[in-house]
Amino acid sequence: MGKQYLLAPGPTPVPPEVLQRMAEPIIHHRSPGYEKILGEVREGLKYLFQTKKEVLIFASSGTGAMEGAVTNTLSAGDKAIVIEGGKFGERWANICKAYGVQAQILPVEWGQPIDPGLIAQALKADPSVKAVFTQATETSTGVLYPIKEIAEIVSRYPGTIMVVDAVSHLGAVELPMDEWKLDIVVAGSQKAFMLPPGLSFAALSDKAWEFVAKSTLPKFYFDFKKELKNLMQNQSAYTPAVSLVMGLAESLPRIRKEGLENIFARHARLARATREAMLALGLKLYAPQAYSDAVTAVVAPPGVDGQKVVKILRDRHNLTIAGGQDQAKGKIFRIAHMGYVDKFDVIMAVAAVEMTLKELGYAVETGKGVRAAMEVLSK
């Protein structure tokens, strides 16, 4: 038997009801039936993003909307600040580079918290910076960034927008777009949306839309202005990913029914259970001071290769988590608890990690992590 368990930071598990909805016969997108569904989806997305603005939808992975956030707001030669504390920070820098945007990198040690004062300093030194690019959760390290504090600083600069990659964060951890004055929030379907990969999202503040009006970088498919115009008619500029939008029409009401507050509380509890379990096993957290509740990065114990943990979990136990990338490769493994994940998923992951560590020769008192997780989860 090969029953599969998916606890990676994307893609994530999808509820059967959503899968079923996506298996329905394809309807034509230029039709009143589709437009009605998209109208409901628009409202559901505003609830999820906690914004009054429209949320644009694209048929791409999360990176597509990230690229669009750059190309729709900036012009060649513009300056930007990129907070880079992991693989996804690097992605912002690479997109900027590809389009001739001068990115000033604010390096953050992997796994360490961010001092918002650094952004204040950088903007004070050069107020001509047009945008600050950051993650909300840096998935590669499991670090939570102080978005509210950074956005507060950026909001004092009328010529600078705050652009947040919340792909692995939105729908798992608090991020009220309007209240926190975020100018662009980017998301992707395969993380906490309870959907397969294939959709990306971007919501823009009034301030960001003013930047769009002046931007001259080349763009075609990811043309935010064109997409907004279509969305206002419950349409899209090009053929949408109809099945995924149908899935979205199923998952968004589920999100609203559970309620954002309850969703964030669930993720917080699952994350805490995971952390407590790992600590109980004598392991260390990779981001001990600023951890996200979407994904937990764990330092592999001395003498144990983090990549091996991931491989054995997958090959022997059919359970998929993620390893470390680049400088964290072999050093860490990452357990995600985002989206359609509940308490027994976490307990199962902890049990599988215990068995795997034991197989790799690390002295584990079997059940110790599971017990710690259960204690958190049964409260």
How many residues interact with ligand PLP (rule CB under 6 A)? Answer: 12
* DSSP string across 24-70: SPPPPSSSHHHHHHHHHHHHHHHHHHT-SS-EEEESS-HHHHHHHHH
Residue window 104-143: x/- pattern of binding to ligand PLP, with contact defined by CB under 6 A: -------------------------------x---x----
Stretch that binds ligand PLP, among 39-47, 165-173, 337-345, 358-366 (CB under 6 A): 165-173
Q: Give CA–CA dist 119/158, Å, rounded.
A: 15
Position 165 contacts ligand PLP (CB under 6 A)? yes
Considering the rule CB under 6 A, would residue 168 count as an interface residue with ligand PLP?
yes
Q: Cα(170)–Cα(192) distance, rounded to whole angstroms?
A: 7
Q: Which is nearer to ligand PLP, 94 or 234 (CB)?
A: 94
Check residue 293 for interaction with ligand PLP (CB under 6 A).
Answer: no
Backbone angles phi, psi at 153, to 5 degrees: -65, -50
Q: Within its chain, how far is the Cα of 220 from the centroid?
A: 25
Q: Which residues contact 293 (CB under 8 A, 6 or more apart)?
A: 144, 172, 173, 264, 267, 268, 270, 271, 272, 337
Output the residue with the shortest Cβ distance to ligand PLP: 62
Binding positions for ligand PLP, 24-63, rule CB under 6 A: 61-63
124 token code pair: 């004070």
- CA–CA separation, 58 vs 35, rounded Å? 16
Closest separation in Å from C-beta 243 to ligand PLP: 17
Task: Determine the interface stretch with ligand PLP among 161-169, 274-282, 344-352, 370-378 (rule: CB under 6 A).
Answer: 161-169
- Prior bond of 11 cis (ω within 30°): yes
Q: Which CB atom, from 199 or from 283, has the smaller least distance to ligand PLP?
A: 199
- State the first-to-last Cα distance of the chain, in angstroms, to the nearest integer: 34
Report the nearest approach of ligand PLP to the CB of residue 135 (Å).
5
Residues 86-105 that bind ligand PLP (CB under 6 A): 88
CA 215, CA 219: separation in Å to the nearest integer? Answer: 10
When the beta carbons of 200 and 236 are compared against ligand PLP, the nearer one is 200
Q: In this chain, which of 6, 8, 10, 129 binds ligand PLP, going by CB under 6 A?
A: 10
| Other CB atoms within 10 A of residue 109 CB | 10
Q: Which is nearer to ligand PLP, 10 or 301 (CB)?
A: 10
* Shortest spacing between CB 303 and ligand PLP, in angstroms: 29
Judged by DSSP in three states, 123 sits in helix
Shorter beta-carbon distance to ligand PLP: residue 6 or 347? 6
Lay out the site mask for ligand PLP across 188-217 (x = CB under 6 A, - = otherwise): x-----------------------------
* Residue 165 or 345 having the CB closest to ligand PLP: 165
* Nearest approach, Cβ of residue 185 and ligand PLP (Å): 12
Reference 333, options 149, 140, 75; nearest CA is: 140
**Nearby residues of 266 by Cβ (< 8 Å), 6 or more positions away:** 258, 342
Can you give the binding site for ligand PLP, defined by CB under 6 A? 9-10, 61-63, 88, 135, 139, 165, 167-168, 188
